[in-house]
Homo-oligomer: A and B are copies of this chain.
Amino acid sequence: MATTCQHPGHKHPEHRRRQAAPDPAAIEDAVARLRARGLRRTRLLDAVLCCLAASPRPLTIGEITTALDGAGDPASVYRMIERLVQAAVVRRLGLQERALYYQMILPGHHCAWLICQHCGAIGEIDAGCPVAELEHHLAAQSGYSDLQHELTFYGTCPECRKT
């Protein structure tokens, strides 16, 4: 049923393998930008940033809260994430699930995802962004500003096709 994609990546832990190093520099950079906006440096801020930076795939608020293991509740994480999104340190993704996903914005990071609709595995797509040009064009034509985009591919992964 459709419920098989409720917990992306869960059934195929190997999809988590591309564990990006938690890159302290990236975190410090983000913190610096946040502090410039007047945000205070709290334990939760560090914990959430660290959690996101260490993840190879977008996380939900629930997942982040779980990862904090008691060091924060969903409401606090929710508000923290809102601030991070406002500050453009974190990006929000839709991903066709009940919950929203959040991903740290890093220079040169991936912008497209490949998701299996059966097992929920989430993988990155290592391609130069194919819509950068269109986005540029769009900004000029539509009058919209601060353009961002979300590009996701959905399909059936080789493993699930066997079944």
Docked complex Cα distance between A131 and B135 (Å): 13
DSSP majority for the A interface?
Answer: mixed
Docked complex Cα distance between A125 and B131 (Å): 12
Chain A interface residue count, CB cutoff 8 Å, equals: 43
A144 neighbours in B (Cβ, 8 Å): 114, 116, 153, 155-158
CB distance from A145 to the nearest CB of B (A): 5
A149 touches B138 (CB 8 A): no
A138 neighbours in B (Cβ, 8 Å): 114, 125, 127, 153
Docked complex Cα distance between A134 and B126 (Å): 11
Q: In chain B, what residue has the closest Cβ to A127?
A: B134
Docked complex Cα distance between A139 and B155 (Å): 9
A131 touches B151 (CB 8 A): yes
Report if A100 contacts B (CB, 8 A): yes
